[in-house]
Amino acid sequence: MRLNVMASAFVATFSFAMSVSADVADGIAFLDAGDVASAATEFAAAYEAGVPEGAFYLGRLFELGLGTEQDEMRAANLYSAAVDAGSVKAQVRLGLMHHEGRVLLRDYVEGSRLLCAAAEAGDADGQLNCGLAYQIGRGLPADEAKAIDYWQRSADQGNILAMNVLGQTALDAGDISAAGTHFKQAADLGNAGGMFEYAKLVSETHPVAAYAYANLAVVRGLSEAAVWRDQFEAGLSAADIEAGQAMARAWTEERILAEAE
């Protein structure tokens, strides 16, 4: 699987793992519990109280059509209000909407300005997408070094997409060692794409590990990894197959124990 995000599309992410006002935190808890109506009530209360993230999360519900009819223009208006009030997350989403050019006029300059402002404020999603803007020169001068710097900052905050982008960039540059480091970092966080890319990368030098990570990628829903795993397995010895399956089993058990603590 080749990661084509750099040349084709910017990445929109949505996470509820953010602690701000009590209303927003309560709203996030309701969302995690599947109670969208109560979440919307809490986000609306935060918005009315002037909390920027209340407007952001409320806008996200409208954009995705969660608990309400989908209304992307209303979402854009809420993001704009949140940006005016200081929401960095809303800067990212509004910037992406300017790049997408569906409900807002396509404006690469304004979109990248918002994304990079969020990046400079320390937002990992902003850093990822600002890096993509620099990589392809969208709304600002192309600058590979700046792109990599922003992706690394994002990856350092645990952004898995940034890890995979760094891995693909290193691979394209012929730096196999760096590519392996980035892909394995994503893989060890449970990302199927990172697992598959790492498996292919080490298939000749570490066949047991390659088989194990491909096996892990398959059970995470990556269908193309299943085809590759089965073909790769045909060339392995019985001992290597057994060792790879044991390695995948141990990885899974270790993760389950870690999540239970």
Question: In the CATH scheme, what is the code of domain 5-157?
Answer: 1.25.40.10
Angle between helices 144-156 and 160-172 (to 10 degrees): 140
Threshold 0.75, pTM exceeds? yes
| Residue (of 246, 164, 173, 232) closest to 204 by Cα position | 232
Q: What span, in angstroms and rounded, lies between the C-alpha atoms of 23 and 158? A: 26
User: Is 5-157's fold the same as 161-260's?
Assistant: yes
Predicted confidence at residue 14, as pLDDT, reads 40
Residue 11 has pLDDT above 70, yes or no: no
Residue 20 binned pLDDT confidence (cut-offs 50, 70, 90): very low
Distance separating alpha carbons of residues 43 and 136, to the nearest angstrom: 36
Domain 161-260: state its class.
mainly alpha
Nearest to 171 by CA among 143, 200, 192, 191: 200
| pLDDT value at 13 more than 60 | no
Residue 238, pLDDT > 60, answer yes
What mean pLDDT value characterizes the chain?
92
Q: Token digits for 198?
A: 């790492």
Alpha carbons 91 and 113: distance in angstroms, whole number = 9
Confidence of residue 213 (pLDDT cuts 50, 70, 90): very high
| CA–CA separation, 193 and 224 (whole Å) | 10
Tokens 């992410």 map to which residue?
A: 13
**Both tokens assigned to 153:** 């900052």
Q: What is the mean pLDDT of residues 142-161?
A: 98
Confidence label for 110 from pLDDT (cuts 50, 70 and 90): very high
The residue extents of the domains of the chain are 5-157, 161-260
Mean per-residue pLDDT, 102-131: 98
Supply the pLDDT for residue 259: 84
pLDDT classification of 23: cutoffs 50, 70, 90: confident
- Token reading at 64: 């995705």
Residue 94 has pLDDT above 60, yes or no: yes
Tokens of 67: 């608990």
Identify which of 176, 187, 182 has the alpha carbon closest to the alpha carbon of residue 209: 187
pLDDT band at 258 (very low <50, low <70, confident <90, very high): confident
At residue 4, the pLDDT reads 36
